[in-house]
Amino acid sequence: MKQTPSPETQNNALAMAKATQKPGQNKEQTKLIAAGIEKGIAEYKKREKAKARDRDKARKQQLKAKSNDRQIDDTDMYQGESNSQMTAAAWSLLGLLLLSWAGFAVYLFMA
């Protein structure tokens, strides 16, 4: 599937060919030079598109990696908080248990 260059590209190529035209050069030769310039422009655009696609893929992979890292960090942070919260909850329950036993002992010995 061969794509024809856009009219803008054709006009630019013809203008460049005419600008570099030598004295005594006929129109046929100028058209051949313009065709070569068109081909060069098409190749350049194709390479730039490929580079842009590669850059976009790399950028998306970096964003995905950062997102995964952030999710892992968030998970670790939540686990760390839950562990410290469990420790605080365990200490408060232990304190309440000891306080209730002390109260029960005081009640038994005072009665």
Query: Using H for helix, E for strand and C for coil, what is the string for the chain?
Result: CCCCCCHHHHHHHHHHHHHCCCCCCCHHHHHHHHHHHHHHHHHHHHHHHHHHHHHHHHHHHHHHHHHHHHHHHHHHHHHHHHHHHHHHHHHHHHHHHHHHHHHHHHHHHHC
List pLDDT tens digits, range 34-54: 888 888 888 999 999 999 999
> For the segment 48-73, what is each residue's pLDDT rounded down to a tens digit?
999 999 999 999 999 888 888 777 76
Nearest to 40 by CA among 9, 19, 7, 1: 9
Of 46, 2, 37, the C-alpha closest to 19 is: 37
| Torsion angle of C-alpha atoms 88, 91, 92, 95, degrees rounded to 10 | -170
pLDDT in tens, 5-39: 778 888 888 888 888 888 888 888 888 888 888 88
Is the whole-model pTM more than 0.75? no
